[in-house]
Structure 1
Amino acid sequence: MRSEPLLAAEPTAPVRNVGELYAIASTQAQRAALRYGKLAAAGDETFEPVRCVFEALSERERQRAEAIEAACIAAIGRAPAQADLRWMPMDLVPTEELSDLKNSLLSTAYGAWALAVRHRERAFIFWTYVAARAELAIVRAAAERMAREALHDGNLLRRERRLAWRAERSEAHAGDAPAATELSSAALLESLLFKDIFRWSQEAPAAQRRHLLSLIGDGSQGPVPETNDTLPHPEALDEVKRRALRRAEQLSSIYLDEADKAVDQSRLELAQQLAARSIARLADLRTIASHTG
């Protein structure tokens, strides 16, 4: 499981319109192109195998920025504008991660591709949050497209990462050994989270109760807790909320790791679907928690 979350914080506020969404996406793509481009121009001869990776990544981000601009013009009749931004777009390609790779004597093409995969996974989580919190259907649909694009990019980058792994080890299938799955532990966590959300709902106002119960469906996704469960007093209820949020975040991490380790398309698609659902659920739980104090 990941030692730290891919996304350090949620988007600052819901995205209010399509212009703001494209302004965010454009800023992020331009920032990524610039930072990858700096690494492509840096380093000595020992950095050469890594430099070509960042040249390719920088070009991909420039093309993404152009595509975002074209999509924005098609949607609202003009290019993305900084004036549309209400908050600074989240950094999907942190300089600290790039500096660590640049300054390491052990930098490899595999490490560079692996970092790029991480960045697109971060983009997937970000846009899934945006979609989950969107108030307008048109914004939600556009954010979902961004999330799908990040998944597609991640798949392509994993392929490059796998090729680099093989090349560095000179073994045709060194990078394809199946890793031990964590989905069995995820099943237990899902069951425990189901019960936490149910208990949380019993003390929530009517609207929030309906929202919480909608996250666990009609009982078909897990065992229905006993109806004579003792309702928690306020202090215990706070602990139930914290535990539910922690378990929801753990599940998101497990599913993302599972997608990262997938060795066939069906397993990858299943893990990505579970991750998208889990991240959207986590965003809902955090929103409810922030409104209840």
Structure 2
Amino acid sequence: MRTELLLTNEPRAPVETTAELYAIAFDQAETAARRYGRYSETDCEESFGPVRSVFEKIQHNALQRAQAVSLTCVAELSKLPDLTQLNWAPTDLVPAEELLELASSSLTTPYLVWALAVRHRERGFVFWTYVAALAENSAVRAAGEDMAREALHDANELRRERRLAWRSERHVHGEQSPDGSSDIPLAALLESLLQKDIIEWARALPLVVRRHLLAATGNDVDAPMPSNVQASGTIEARRRAIRRAEQLSSIYLDEADHAGDQDQLELTQKLAARAITRLADLRTIAATLAE
């Protein structure tokens, strides 16, 4: 399983309007283009040329994304994205330090840059899935879902480039393919344990909150609940549920990133989207109960 949890790319607060949403999307795309551009325009030794070429391509992609956001915003709101609509600093999906570390290494190859670009769009998928899950406004939810789908599409295109680069470098260096092991069997066990934790957590909740929790996680809202429940037990069940939901989201994202064919990719991406939405619901319910 990947060491970096993409699940930390959660919006700081629910997005309230489509104007705010397009401002966030535009800012993120422009930031990505600017940071990629730093390494696509740099003068350096000849060996960096193939790496610089990749940075040029992903910078171009980010600029196109910013332009597409602008066109959509004009079409829907009759105005360009307005950064004054931002209520909080947009989540940084393309950290400058991460790019600097990669570009500064003498071991950096085109494959590693493509791999990082994939990770950046995966972060976008996670971020916009959270935005859609937390949105109270239906227009914001729909736009967030569109952004998440676009990020998935971009990540899929970048994976093809990453795969080509890997094959090219493997041919040169005689390396073997990465380990193709899967965590899906573990995911099946975690799904079962998660459902047990959710049922235990729900037992001590008020009826309205209980029904919300059960509905959000695909359980029977009318299932009978035993009344003899200890508060300490439900608190621990809540913690376990959120922890397992985080693990499952991470597993499905990792499986999608290493999918061997299109069917597996589409399935694991759907599982990841559902798991992230579920995690957002669990965190929201837990936060509401803590207030």
Aligned residue type for 1:6? L
Q: Please list every run of at least 4 consecutive aligned residues from structure 1 whose deviation after the TM superposition is greater than 4 angstroms.
A: 173-178, 226-232
> Are the structure 2 counterparts of residues 19 and 108 from structure 1 closer, same or farther at C-alpha, using a change threshold of 3 Å?
same
Shift of 1:195: 0.7
The one-character-per-residue Cα deviations of 1:235-289 (angstroms, maximum 9, x if unpaired) are: 3322211111110000001000100110100000000000000000000000011
In the TM superposition, 1:141-220 aligns within 5 A as: 141-170=142-171, 179-218=180-219
Closer, same or farther: CA 199–168 of 1 in aligned 2, 3 Å: same
Structure 1 match to 2:90? 89
Could you tell me which amino acid in structure 2 is paired with residue 256 of structure 1?
L
User: Which residue pairs with 1:287 in the alignment?
Assistant: 284
Q: How many residues are matched?
A: 287
* Gap change, CA 1:156 and 1:176, over 3 Å in 2: farther
Shift of 1:177: 6.8
Alpha-carbon separation, structure 2, partners of 1:19 and 1:250: 33
Shift, 1:174, TM fit: 7.2
- Give the C-alpha shift of residue 170 in structure 1: 1.2
| Letter of the structure 2 residue corresponding to residue 193 of structure 1 | L
- 1:270 is aligned to 267
The residue number in structure 2 matching 1:40 is 40
Counterpart CA distance in 2 for 1:7 and 1:244 is: 15
Match of 2:75 in 1: 74
In structure 2, do the counterparts of structure 1 residues 122 and 281 end up closer, same or farther at CA, with 3 Å as the change threshold? Answer: same
Q: Write the letter of the residue equivalent to 2:22.
A: Y
Q: Within 1, Cα distance between the matches of 2:160 and 2:286?
A: 39
8 Å contact from structure 1 (residues 40, 55) kept in 2:
yes
Residues 223-262 of structure 1: pairs in structure 2 closer than 5 A: 232-262=229-259
Aligned equivalents of 2:127, 2:175: Cα separation in 1: 32
Percent sequence identity is 55
Does the 8 A contact of 2:24 with 2:90 survive in 1? yes
Ranges in structure 1 where 5+ consecutive residues have no aligned partner: 220-225
Q: Contact 1:165 / 1:174 at 8 angstroms: preserved in 2?
A: no
More off after superposition, 36-45 vs 105-114: 36-45
**Offset of residue 127 of structure 1:** 0.2
CA shift for structure 1 position 82 = 1.1
8 Å Cα contact 2:204/2:227 also seen in 1:
no
Tell me if 1:13 matches 2:13: yes
- Asked whether the equivalents of residues 203 and 226 of structure 2 are also in contact (C-alpha less than 8 Å), the reply is no
Distance 2:141 2:92 in 1: 21
Partner of 2:260: helix, strand, or coil?
coil
Find the residue that maps to 1:170 and give its secondary structure: helix
Post-superposition shift, 1:19? 0.5
Distance 2:84 2:34 in 1: 21
1:223 maps to which residue? none
**Cα 1:2–1:186 shift into 2, 3 Å:** same
Are 1:14 and 1:130, in contact at CA under 8 Å, matched by a contact in 2? yes
CA contact (8 A) 1:131 1:139 kept: yes
| Cα distance change, pair 176–211 in 1 and its aligned pair in 2 (3 A) | farther
Kept in 2, the 8 Å contact 1:199–1:231? The answer is no
Given that 1:176 and 1:263 are in contact with CA atoms closer than 8 Å, whether structure 2 keeps it comes out as no
The residue identity in structure 1 corresponding to 2:106 is L
1:71-94 Cα shifts (integer Å, max 9, x gaps) = 000011100101111011100101
One-letter amino acid of the structure 1 residue matched with residue 91 of structure 2? M
Structure 2 residue aligned with 1:102: 103
Runs of 5+ consecutive residues of structure 2 not aligned to the other structure: none
- Secondary structure at the residue paired with 1:135? coil
- Asked if 2 retains the 8 angstrom alpha-carbon contact of 1:26 and 1:69, the reply is yes
Write the distance in 2 (CA, Å) between the matches of 1:141 and 1:155: 21
